[in-house]
Chains A and B, each alone.
Chain A
Amino acid sequence: MATATTPPDASARRAGTHREPGSRPRSRRRNQLRNWLIFAVLAGPNIALLVVFTYRPLLQSFFLSTLQWNLGSPSAVPVGLANYADFFAAPGTPRLLAVTAIFTLATVGGGMVLGLLLAVLLNRKLRFRGAARTIVVAPYVLSGVAVGLLWLFVFDPNFGVLSALLGGLGIASPAWYTDPQWALVMVIIVYLWKNVGYVALIYLAGLQAVPRDLLEAASLDGASPVRSFVSVVLPLLGPTTFFLGITTLLTSLQSFDIIRAMTDGGPLEGTTTMMYAIYREGFANGRAGYSSAIATILFLVLFVITLAQLRFVERKVHYA
């Protein structure tokens, strides 16, 4: 089948149609036309939607990033790469990048560590661990806006439950609402609260796949639980860690709901990430061209990360 020279009737022979030679080409062509038609009916609408609402805007976005254009304005001026130059020269950009980096590292790194610890805990033979697992994952399915709003009141420096708890320990509540640094800590905590259950869930699935006899062997060899976790379990969780690292990185770089509901990017831009800047520049300030340039930069970052992920998935699909 993999020969270089394929005879013209190879596909017909493969399909097992052995009729008289004269009628073969026509019926084959008709059959193939029918298959194309069926394929178009079944897959056409979905592929058309992808072209119109995913691939077209992707290309258009690159083009828009070279324009000075305000959303809704009839005229646009081609400016080449000026939007990109403006972005890297803007006085707020270093802060924007720093906020993005801190938010991303804290949510991804913190999420992975906390998620793994939770998974290890909930993998132990404890009573009620089933219920505990459910409760830990529950916030993940909630609306980010609702989560943001309910936590905003928890964080209220005067009347929130957190200030009461901290007060009980003799600690004054930080100025979550008005201090840019504390505000960033606040949205990171809320993001972690909402998403850590997902990480724990996926790690749990990974932990359950660790063969028991391997752990028993390690224990017989005199390895302490910590030692056998570090040298037996962690390496086996490698693929899970890689997968989670990339997925949570992608979602974190695109997170929007919580920031929008809690701080609207403030105070003093303290919680404005790149994703949030795209929204604010494009839709609040109407600078569609400039916003597209930031979106393109973020896209290139995400693209490289996703490619790495897909390569990995491909490998897993083929060899697992």
Chain B
Amino acid sequence: MTVEHAPARRPRPAVGGYLTMAFAVAVMILPLVWMALASFKGLDELYQLPIQWLPDSLAATNYVTATQTVPFGSFFVNSAIVTAVGAGLKMTLGLMTAYALVFVDIPFRRFFFYVVVCALLVPQQIVLIPNYALVAQLGWLNTYQGLILPGLASAFGTFLFRQHFLTLPRSILEAAQIDGAGHWRRLWGFVVPLSGPTIAAVGLVSIVTEWNDYLWPLLVIDRPEMMTLPVGLTLLMNFDGVPDWGVIMAGTVLVTVPVLAVFFLLQRRIVDGLVTGAVTG
């Protein structure tokens, strides 16, 4: 290892790099392509050796079957409601709590901050049975409130918003106060508009999480018309004899494509959200 070797290394061709990158991308994409292709295949095309790569036609038969065997429309609506209401309220609660923790001057504020943050130490698996028992007791099985309320509290969001609020210039809020703006208006009229990127980042991650949530909805919902997409999707697996992968894949396409579309459209912001969560905690 002498100094003379260093310049010779410079024009190293990046062929290896490109090959590895192509391989990595192929590994990520191939299963998704396989899913999309299979969603157009009939049983005879699926169960054929050697395997048939491309479907004979792009007829939407499997999609029709999938949406007719199980109420996909209701799954979609339920997922949309739970995601919109759940993520929306969670963000609102997080913003309000973070504001109170930073800008409302009361004694023991730190104690309440710890009440929020310590909730991060409690994993979902340990609260499952007691929460299920409570929700069942309240008669909330198969209801939206049963789906949404137990996971609604914002701990991580509050934590991230608080971190951000602490960096806001106090002078702006003092000016707002002098103008006679109360806490409510200071929060929604000044603090929130100043926190756009943080809110977008946290919000998108929380939307994706709600949309994909599976364990809790699986426990509290057993009526098909109340199921969300991930739970309803498994109904397609209740088959007799050989699984009709074409129909199942049509279902998975319907579940994954909206999320993929949103991800590719807003990937900068979503990536920011994932990284923000990591950088701050």
Contacts and interface: CB of A to CB of B under 8 A. Distances in A.
Interface residues of A, number: 105
Contacts of B46: 159
Given A58-B126, A222-B1, A49 B93 contact: yes
Contact of B21 (A129, A139, A149): A129
B183 A159 contact: no
Contacts of A317: 163, 280-281
A283 B219 contact: yes
B233 A138 contact: no
Contacts of B221: none
B50 to A, nearest CB: 7
Given A46-B153, A141-B259, 18 more contacts: A35-B106, A39-B106, A42-B97, A43-B96, A46-B116, A47-B115, A53-B127, A57-B127, A57-B131, A72-B136, A144-B230, A149-B248, A153-B249, A164-B50, A222-B5, A254-B123, A260-B234, A275-B125
Interface in A68-83: 71-72
A150 B143 CA distance: 29
A243 B279 CA distance: 9
Contacts of B117: 310
B34 A247 contact: no
The binding surface of chain A is classed by DSSP as helix
A61 B129 contact: yes
Interface in A241-269: 243-244, 247, 250, 254, 256-257, 260-261
A61 B100 contact: no
A85 interface: no
B49 interface: yes
Nearest to B245: A153
A93 interface: no
A57 B134 contact: yes
Contact of B183 (A38, A53, A118, A126): A38
Interface string A165-200: 001000000000000000000000000010001100
Contacts of A15: 105
A149 B133 contact: no
A248 to B, nearest CB: 11
B77 to A, nearest CB: 17
Interface string B13-40: 0100110110011011111101100100
Contacts of B158: 46
Interface of B: 1-3, 5-6, 9, 14, 17-18, 20-21, 24-25, 27-32, 34-35, 38, 46-51, 93-94, 96-97, 99-101, 104-107, 109, 112, 115-117, 119-134, 136, 149-155, 158, 163, 183, 187, 208, 211-212, 214-215, 218-219, 229-231, 233-234, 237, 245, 248-249, 251-252, 255-256, 259-260, 263-264, 267, 270-271, 274-275, 278-281
Nearest to B151: A53
Interface of A: 15, 32, 35-36, 38-39, 42-43, 45-47, 49-58, 60-61, 64, 71-72, 118, 121-122, 124-126, 128-129, 132, 134-147, 149-151, 153-154, 156, 158-161, 163-164, 167, 193, 197-198, 201-202, 205, 219-220, 222-225, 227, 243-244, 247, 250, 254, 256-257, 260-261, 275, 278-279, 282-283, 288, 291-292, 295-296, 298-299, 302-303, 306-307, 309-310, 313, 316-317
Contacts of B150: 53
Given A47-B112, A247-B278, A55 B119 contact: yes
